[in-house]
Structure 1
């Protein structure tokens, strides 16, 4: 009887071992092939005990490098919050979660992640007592960079719509009041001259709405880029805008990649701004910036120029220094330049007028 019992015990032990090995193998595959970065962390030393290949890929370190590091090395800006909100929660409740966690890669790039984790039960043996505190945790980091980027884009769109609503409600009041006032006078007096004022105010509203819609259009402002010639597009826009008797001088030219339609709009607003502020006979010069680190072009005029104290505000929505300006033309210019990844600055031309410089363009 005793021999039979021993044999049965050996069989059970073998089956248990086989089951345990099978389960461990499953968990090992989940660990190795998971799309999330998985890291085993020692609570006491705050060191990494094990990491999966995805963790190495996400952070740019080898497994050996990560095992010699601590969480603080990859969360330098968020480590206090990680300890207070995440590690402590896992210790006390067994599981934890936190989002908006910035990880620093080996190359110094920031990766937006969210992290979830759970305490690991003590291993078999002396530490496996019912009241033993867990010594390790498993932390799973998920790359949510795309989600964060989309959220920020959505927030920017909402902000644009808010600004759009504010500008519409504020800046359309003046031409609307003009229309209402002259319509009443026309009704009372029958004088047709009031219809001219109404027509001018309606045209003004149409112009404002057109420019506002450019700034609040859905989707990306810049689409397919093609090679464009600086002189050619400037001359085309000049002709289309019927700028005479103003004068255009092309001092130099180059070719670069840009969304031609958006670049066309940029020059339209540059030239109209020069005429609005420099007069109908203004001279506008277009050329390539000189210097090894100045990849770009300039547009300058011989008008009155912009006072130094106003230069920081001219690209703001609704900012204008003329009584009939919309204040959106240069805001559109700034939006188009930013969408291309360019930078735009403003200064004084050699003739005392305004000089815009667009830089950061890859030839």
Structure 2
């Protein structure tokens, strides 16, 4: 009998075992969740407990996070955190907000969505603590940004199609009428020129819309070799190209050639007589890259800011998309692009931030 009495005194009641199991279950969820979870004291506005995912998200050790305040993590959004999240949780028992910026220990801002709920059931008085669950939505935000850029490109595409194609279409229509009336073949030639311009517009627009700043597999390329191939595809007339580089670096060969073709074509189109172009390396302690320079008339300062806008051109026969393509290809490679005056008084496009494979000076 005493042994039975001892067993009954030392063994938890079924209800106690159930409460212990539930507590342990939630403790495991708290510790092993992929989302950051924090326990916040309402009155002190102080973090009193965190899980490992919180430390991973924010870059702090657990001891450093304990005692921190929401404003330490959300300095840019603290008013919204208090007024639209903490207050809502305290008053209604739960709350949610998205696109909330979290400041990490390294100074990086991470977009998150946060949901929260009070910990007490309210029977013992007003709630004193809440649980906040933070989810990193960086990939979602980046995906949304890319979609917005695609929509923007498509909108511009539609605008240009409806605007810039009307002029050559009007030219075709007018010259066909004149050809019917006069029978003069020169009107067919003028109509063909307008058709060629429309074809060029459509090709460059499709390059922007389909490829944007997308870059394929990169490999080691020789700048001189790609420059020569690009030059052969340009109707250069009396223009000349000089390559003064043995630079090799990592790039998507086809898109680099496309970039150079557009730069060469732009220089040829903007010079009344033959222009001389030079491709060379940029070698300095602060930058590694290459340049494309010409001895043309240069660019007026007031036009520099608009050079890479879609459809912007100062030439009657220009499409206004060549330099926009150049900028997007450079962005896709992660290169920095600047425009300045060349030594010969023309224009110089500089590309830096290259990953150099080998270089001979």
What's the TM-score bracket when you normalise by the shorter of the two chains?
over 0.9
Corresponding position: 1:151 with 2:144: yes
Separation (CA, whole Å) in 2 of partners of 1:326 and 1:259: 24
Q: What is aligned with 1:62?
A: 61
Separation (CA, whole Å) in 2 of partners of 1:91 and 1:12: 39
Q: What is aligned with 2:25?
A: 26
Q: What is aligned with 2:270?
A: 277
Separation (CA, whole Å) in 1 of partners of 2:271 and 2:244: 19
Q: Which runs of structure 2 are paired with 1:1-363 in the superposition (5 Å)?
A: 14-121=13-120, 130=123, 132-217=125-210, 221-363=214-356
Report deviation, 1:277: 1.2
What is the root-mean-square deviation of aligned Cα atoms in Å? Answer: 1.9
Secondary structure of 1:289's aligned partner = strand
Separation (CA, whole Å) in 2 of partners of 1:256 and 1:284: 21
Separation (CA, whole Å) in 2 of partners of 1:286 and 1:11: 87
Report deviation, 1:218: 5.2
TM-superposition CA deviations, 1:256-294 (whole Å, max 9, x none): 111111100101011111111124521101101131112
TM-superposition CA deviations, 1:149-206 (whole Å, max 9, x none): 1011101110111111111111111100000111111122222211111111000000
Separation (CA, whole Å) in 2 of partners of 1:90 and 1:334: 47
Give yes or no for contact 1:278–1:301 (8 Å, CA) kept in 2: no
Gaps of 5+ in 2: 357-361
Q: TM-score, normalised by structure 2?
A: 0.93
Secondary structure of 1:108's aligned partner = coil
Separation (CA, whole Å) in 1 of partners of 2:126 and 2:11: 30
Separation (CA, whole Å) in 2 of partners of 1:344 and 1:139: 43
Q: TM-score, normalised by structure 1?
A: 0.92
TM-superposition CA deviations, 1:110-141 (whole Å, max 9, x none): 1111000000116xxxxx7x361010001000
Secondary structure of 1:278's aligned partner = coil
Gaps of 5+ in 1: 1-5, 123-127
Separation (CA, whole Å) in 1 of partners of 2:235 and 2:126: 81
Separation (CA, whole Å) in 1 of partners of 2:68 and 2:31: 20
Separation (CA, whole Å) in 2 of partners of 1:275 and 1:244: 8
TM-superposition CA deviations, 1:57-115 (whole Å, max 9, x none): 11111111111311111111111100000000001000000000111111111111100
